[in-house]
Amino acid sequence: MDQVFCANAAILLNNKALVANFAAGPRKPESMIYMDYFTDHGFNTHMTKHKLEGAGDGLFSHSKKKLWLGSGFRLDFTTEFSIRVG
C-alpha cells in the first residue's frame, strides 16, 4: 500500500499547480479532489496524462527556473512532454 504525503498533491509554482496523476490504484481518485481544490482556490491548474506523483517526484531549483524530476516506477515518460517555467 502506498503511503500518503500531502506534498504529492501537486507541483506548485506561484499560482500554477501541476496536479499529481497517481500511479498507485488506491490514490488515483485523489487526483480529481486535488484538481478541484487548487482550481477552487484560484490556481492555474493542470494535470498531465502521464503518471506523476506531484512534489514527491519534482523539485524546483533554488532559482525556480529549473524543475528537477525523478525517474522510475512512479513516473511515465513513454511520451515526450515538457514543463515550461515562467
Q: pLDDT, tens digit, for every residue of 52-74?
A: 887 777 888 899 888 887 777 66
Give the least confident one: 32-36, 46-50, 54-58.
54-58
Quick check: helix, strand or coil at residue 61?
Answer: coil
Full-model pTM: 0.78
- Percent of the chain at pLDDT above 70? 77
Element (H, E) at 19: strand 16-19
Give Cα separations from 42 to 31, 37, 38, 60, 82 (angstroms).
Answer: 17, 9, 7, 21, 23
The confidence score (pLDDT) of residue 59 equals: 81
